[in-house]
Structure formats: C-alpha cells, structure tokens
Amino acid sequence: MPRTAKPLTNTEVSKAKPRDKVYSLSDGGGLQLRIKPSGTKTWLLDYYRPYTKKRTSLSFGAFPEVSLAEARSSREKARKLLAKQIDPKEHRDEQQRTKQSAHSNTLHAVAEQWLELKKSKVTGDYAIDT
C-alpha cells in the first residue's frame, strides 16, 4: 500500500530553510517543493511519461511567484492530461510553440522580415524611407 504524504501548509513552505544539499518537501500526488542550497524553492511534479514509462519532472515555477494553491491546481491539470495519455510537458511546449508561431506570423513581423531582405538590395536612403 502506498504511503500518503501529509499535505504541506503555507507556513511550512514559507519557513523552509536551505540546507547544505538539495532536499524536497512532498505535498502528495507527486507534487514536491525542491529547496536548493542557494535558497531557491521550485515546485515540481514527478510523473511517468505515458508511452515511454520513463520518470520525469515538470516544473511549475518558483515559490513566491507560484503559491501552494496555484501549484496544486497545476498538478491537477497535469494529472487530468496524464489520465488522457497526454504528456503534460509536451503539451505545454506545444502550446508555447503555437503562441510563438501566431506571434511571428503577424503583418508587422512579416513586414520587418521583408524590409531586412530589401535593405541589402537598395540604397540606404530608400531603405529609411520604406
């Protein structure tokens, strides 16, 4: 029978002090707060990838910027994706690529790329006017 971890509290998280080595505080469900000797506190979710069954970690961010409640909601979203056999890390990366692609395909971005190509073929004054 698996061991159940006692959920963390906000006071435990905020009062966790750095040690000589990296250590983790477990919140349950694979969510951990990893504390480094430099004092950095990072939220991580340990899980098995759906198809390769290899163990990996997904970072949700650093502690002061990402609260305990936000980390728990992110964990639940990731667990829902895992239940559908979707790797949360690949899903997040795909969403970022889609946003970046949409941003780089705007009229402004395309016009800037065209102007950079055109600058090498025309005079400097004409390039400034364009």
Query: In this predicted model, what pLDDT tens digit does every residue of 5-27 receive, in sequence order?
Result: 788 888 998 999 999 999 999 98
Show the domains of the chain with their CATH numbers: 1-86 (3.30.160.390), 89-130 (no CATH)
Alpha-carbon distance 48 to 57, whole Å?
A: 9
For the whole model, what pTM was predicted? 0.73
Instruction: Write out pLDDT tens, residues 42-87.
Output: 999 999 998 898 999 999 999 889 999 999 999 999 999 999 999 9
For 96, the token pair is 């970022």
